[in-house]
Amino acid sequence: MALTISDEVVRLIKQTKLIAFDFDGVFTDNTVYVSQDGTETVHCHRGDGFGLRKLDQLGINYIIVSTETNPVVSIRAKKLKSRCIQGVEDKFATLSQIAEDTGIPLDHIAFVGNDINDRSALENVLFPIIVADSHSDVIGYEQYRTQAPGGRGAVREVCDLFEQVINHSG
C-alpha cells in the first residue's frame, strides 16, 4: 500500500544519508517486562529487520541511539546488524559526534524518536520523525509521524517510506 507523501517529506528523504533510531518506544512498544531476578524483556516487531535490510540495499546508514544501557538493546541491535550506542544522556550531542565521526552532517541525518529525551535530537536534525504513539512532549517537533506505533511496525514503516521515495519517485 503506497502512502501519500508530501513534497517536503520526499525532499527530506532524498537528502538523508543516515537514520538514527531511539530504541525504547520505537523498536519496542515502550513496555518492559521484569522478572523476579531483574531480567528485562521487551516486545519488538519482527518486520523491523526486513525494513533495515531495505536501508542496506538503499545505501542508507542507520544506528540505534538509546538512553538505556541494557543487554536486551545490545542483543536486539546485534541481531538486526545495527550499530548501537547506549547510555546516551544527550542525544543531540551524540548525534553531533556521530556526524563528526562519519562525515555525515546533521543536515543529512533523520532521527526517529518518541519521548522527551529525544526532543533535542528531533530539533536539530534534517528529518525529525516520531512514532504514532509518541508522548505529547514531542508532538509538533516532527516532519513525519508514523501510522504504526512503536514496537508495532513503526521502524518498518519508516524503512518502507524511504524505499518508496527512493525507488519510485521521479
Nearest to 84 by CA among 5, 27, 122: 27
Residue 7: burial class (beta carbons within 10 Å; 0-12, 13-18, 19+)? exposed
Judge residue 156's burial from the number of C-beta atoms within 10 Å of its C-beta, 0-12 exposed, 13-18 middle, 19 or more buried: buried
Structural domains in the chain? 7-168 (3.40.50.1000)
Round to whole Å and give the CA distance between 109 and 103.
11
Residue 62 confidence (pLDDT) above 70: yes
The cell for 32 is 518492559
Tell me how far apart the alpha carbons of residues 157 and 161 are, in angstroms, rounded to a whole number: 6
Question: Residue range 116-122: average pLDDT?
Answer: 98
Please name the amino acid found at residue 80: L
Residue 169: pLDDT band (50, 70, 90) is: low
Length of the chain: 170
| Rounded alpha-carbon distances, angstroms, from residue 168 to 5, 26, 145, 160, 163 | 12, 26, 21, 11, 8
pLDDT tens string 5-54: 899 999 999 999 999 999 999 999 999 999 999 998 999 999 999 999 99
DSSP-assigned letter for residue 126: S
Residue 94 clears pLDDT 50, i.e. is over it: yes
Mean pLDDT along residues 134-156:
98
pLDDT reported for residue 3: 64
Give the pLDDT mean for 126-142: 98
What is the pLDDT, as a whole number, of residue 4?
Answer: 77
Question: Looking at residues 71-80, what average pLDDT do you find?
Answer: 94
pTM for this prediction: 0.95
pLDDT score of 2: 56
Task: Say which residues have a Cβ less than 8 Å from residue 142's Cβ, sequence separation at least 6.
Answer: 122, 128, 129, 130, 134
Q: Give the pLDDT of residue 147.
A: 97
User: Rounded to an integer, what distance in angstroms lies between the CA atom of residue 55 and that of residue 162?
Assistant: 8
Q: What is the pLDDT of residue 1?
A: 47
